């Protein structure tokens, strides 16, 4: 445990990728297999299921530190991070008992689950006595499920690649599909013997970068394949011995989309498709809000399956006839994909190739992109015709060229303190537009301002608070911001009758007063 805590603190303290990479490689080179497996699992963004409720964790911390609930709440508000707050309140003098990371997780942390609250409080007090303050911070991160550090999955795999001599792409492929930590799993992961995904195991996903330059900078338009960027769930549909559906986050979607699993059985064995999971609306696609009705349902009922039929729009062919096609050029993979899905088999009606976009030059592509919203797409994908299907986010060959966001000018009406780096600052905001002479809240956002702007807004919130509701403050309605979002739909669950997708602040409109803000009618005009 102590070695992993030291690694975590070293990663957290550095902003340089080279230093993080060296720390990761050193750890993986010397760690025991069970510890290394858990460390990689955690550093790749996975979380332990909460072994204790947050209220029990807070109660245990208050009893050990000897402070009351009011003082604990004040400390938490000042620090902004529960794990750090508890670590700072614990008494000094914890003694390290030398237990490994794997033993801590498997024998102590996971053993907390299922105990009654009083027993959990006593067990937590005993755990904290076994660690010093620095290690207690990392332990608390494990307990809260908030162990996040500035390391991407790709950087963690590069560190492991440096320690093992295996290619990061090989490691990524072996991790795909819900890898679970353990000694045997670790030995399979780092084995020098060649391997490839089999059975229900997907391939690592290839991702695109946002296009932040004119498309003309990419060269001739003829060197690129263009298709629509859909607003759905990215997935891989596998047909090997049986059929499986995986999300980009390595989550199995088999149970939630039985209609797609049944359809995939019509594919020839040895086929893996990359594409987008959507809900059909006639011959087109429904908005994301319709897909949300299907998400999280482990056993969707017949009525929902009929009213919200899922479709899979495929844009790449990763495995064909049991062979790995990822190193073949994209144009060849697309030709084979379209030929495969053009077969007159009624079972494939739910699995379609995504339409390609014809554009003789970039001016024509600009015109096509503007039509995306009519199709309920977010923009265009630009992929070099000769590109292979790598893993992760290699730069240069795949770009997402999204539409400019919808925008409205809205008034800041509520503010809430942030957490982590934004602890102590009011950084999470609720915005409103005018309706019948009143300001009606319609969106929350917390990104888009510079640190200096956020500090200035924080000062305004503190000086212009009207009411306090726990951690939330209502403020004098004076500040106006341009708020951008990707989509808008009608919603009975929101007071404004509308819901927006991915709201964020584009700029602070210091040139406008609250009276100049937009109206609910202006928002409704964007519904299309």
Instruction: Output the tens digit of pLDDT for each of the chain's 528 residues.
Output: 889 989 988 888 888 889 999 999 999 999 999 999 999 999 988 888 888 999 999 999 999 999 999 999 888 877 878 888 999 998 876 666 778 999 999 999 999 998 999 999 999 999 998 888 778 888 999 998 878 787 888 899 999 999 999 988 889 888 888 788 999 999 999 999 888 788 889 999 999 999 999 999 999 999 999 999 999 999 999 999 999 999 998 889 999 999 999 999 999 999 999 999 999 998 899 989 899 899 878 889 999 999 999 999 999 999 999 999 999 999 999 999 999 998 656 567 899 999 999 899 999 999 999 999 889 999 999 999 999 998 888 889 999 999 989 999 999 999 998 876 676 789 999 999 999 999 999 999 999 999 899 999 999 999 999 998 878 999 999 999 999 998 888 888 888 889 998 999 999 999 999 999 999 999 999 886
Fold classification of 406-524 is OB fold (Dihydrolipoamide Acetyltransferase, E2P) (2.40.50)
Looking at 20, 141, 229, 383, which residue is catalytic? 229
The β-bridge relationship of strands 310-320 and 351-353 is: parallel
Closest CA to 27 of 35, 259, 179: 35
337, 353 Cβ separation under 8 angstroms: yes
Answering whether pTM is above 0.85, one says no
Residues in the chain: 528
How many helices and strands, by DSSP H and E, does the chain display? 19, 20
* Per-residue model confidence (pLDDT) at position 346: 56
Q: Which distant-in-sequence residues (6+ apart) come within 8 Å of 441 by Cβ?
A: 413, 414, 430, 431, 432, 495, 496
Element housing 378 (H / E):
strand 377-384
Measured between alpha carbons, how far is 53 from 243 in angstroms, rounded to an integer? 37
Closest CA to 371 of 226, 221, 274: 226
Measured between alpha carbons, how far is 202 from 246 in angstroms, rounded to an integer? 7
Measured between alpha carbons, how far is 132 from 129 in angstroms, rounded to an integer? 8
* Per-residue model confidence (pLDDT) at position 150: 76
Q: Domain coordinates of the chain in residue numbers?
A: 2-144, 209-402, 406-524
| End-to-end CA separation in angstroms for the chain | 55
* Per-residue model confidence (pLDDT) at position 63: 94
* Per-residue model confidence (pLDDT) at position 344: 58
Q: C-alpha angle 37/42/47, rounded to 5°?
A: 125
Measured between alpha carbons, how far is 426 from 446 in angstroms, rounded to an integer? 9
Chain center to CA of 194: 31
The domain 2-144 having CATH identifier 1.10.3260.10: the answer here is yes
* Per-residue model confidence (pLDDT) at position 503: 94
Closest CA to 418 of 449, 375, 443: 449
Write down the CATH number for the domain with range 209-402.
Answer: 3.30.470.30
189, 62 Cβ separation under 8 angstroms: no
Q: What are phi and psi of 97, to 5 degrees?
A: -100, 5
58 noted as active-site residue: no
Measured between alpha carbons, how far is 486 from 415 in angstroms, rounded to an integer? 22
């Amino acid at each position: 445990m102590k070695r992993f805590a030291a690694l975590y603190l070293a990663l957290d303290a550095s902003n340089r990728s080279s230093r993080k990479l060296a720390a990761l490689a050193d750890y993986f080179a010397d760690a025991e297999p069970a510890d290394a497996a858990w460390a990689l699992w955690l550093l790749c963004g996975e979380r332990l299921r909460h072994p204790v409720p947050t209220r029990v964790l807070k109660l245990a911390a208050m009893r050990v530190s000897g402070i009351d609930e009011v003082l604990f709440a004040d400390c938490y508000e000042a620090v902004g991070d529960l794990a750090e707050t508890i670590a700072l309140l614990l008494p000094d003098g914890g003694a390290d008992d030398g237990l490994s990371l794997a033993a801590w997780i498997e024998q102590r942390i996971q053993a907390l689950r299922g105990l009654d609250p009083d027993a959990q409080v006593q067990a937590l007090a005993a755990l904290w006595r076994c660690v010093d303050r620095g290690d207690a911070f990392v332990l608390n991160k494990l307990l809260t499920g908030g162990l996040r550090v500035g390391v991407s999955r790709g950087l963690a795999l590069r560190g492991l690649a440096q320690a093992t001599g295996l290619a990061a792409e090989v490691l990524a492929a072996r991790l795909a599909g819900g890898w679970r930590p353990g000694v045997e799993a670790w030995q399979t992961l780092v084995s020098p013997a060649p391997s490839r995904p089999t059975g229900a195991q997907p391939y690592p996903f290839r991702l695109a970068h946002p296009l932040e330059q004119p498309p003309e900078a990419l060269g001739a338009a003829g060197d690129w394949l263009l298709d629509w960027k859909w607003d759905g769930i990215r997935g891989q549909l596998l047909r090997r011995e049986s059929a499986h559906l995986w999300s980009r986050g390595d989550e199995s979607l088999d149970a939630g989309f039985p209609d797609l699993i049944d359809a995939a059985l019509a594919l020839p064995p040895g086929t893996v498709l990359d594409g987008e999971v959507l809900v059909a609306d006639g011959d087109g696609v429904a908005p994301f809000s319709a897909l949300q009705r299907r998400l999280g349902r482990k056993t969707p009922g017949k009525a929902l399956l009929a009213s919200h039929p899922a479709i899979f729009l495929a844009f790449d062919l990763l495995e064909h006839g049991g062979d790995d096609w990822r190193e073949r050029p994209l144009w060849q993979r697309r030709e084979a994909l379209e030929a495969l899905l053009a077969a007159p088999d009624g079972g494939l009606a739910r699995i379609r190739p995504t339409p390609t976009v014809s554009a003789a030059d970039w001016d024509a592509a600009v015109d096509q992109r503007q039509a995306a919203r009519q199709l309920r797409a977010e923009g265009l994908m630009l992929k070099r015709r000769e590109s292979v299907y790598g893993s992760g986010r290699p730069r240069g060959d795949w770009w997402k060229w999204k539409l400019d966001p919808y925008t409205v000018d809205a008034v800041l009406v509520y503010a809430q303190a942030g957490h982590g780096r934004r602890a102590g600052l009011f950084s999470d905001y609720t915005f409103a537009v005018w309706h019948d002479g009143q300001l009606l809240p319609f969106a929350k956002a917390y990104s888009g301002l510079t640190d200096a702007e956020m500090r200035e807004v924080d000062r305004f919130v503190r000086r212009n608070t009207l009411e306090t509701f726990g951690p939330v403050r209502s403020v004098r309605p004076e500040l106006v911001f341009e708020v951008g979002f990707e989509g808008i739909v009608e919603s009975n669950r929101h007071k404004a009758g509308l819901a927006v997708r991915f709201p964020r602040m584009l700029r602070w409109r210091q040139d406008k007063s609250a009276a100049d803000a937009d109206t609910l009618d202006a928002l409704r005009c964007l519904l299309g």
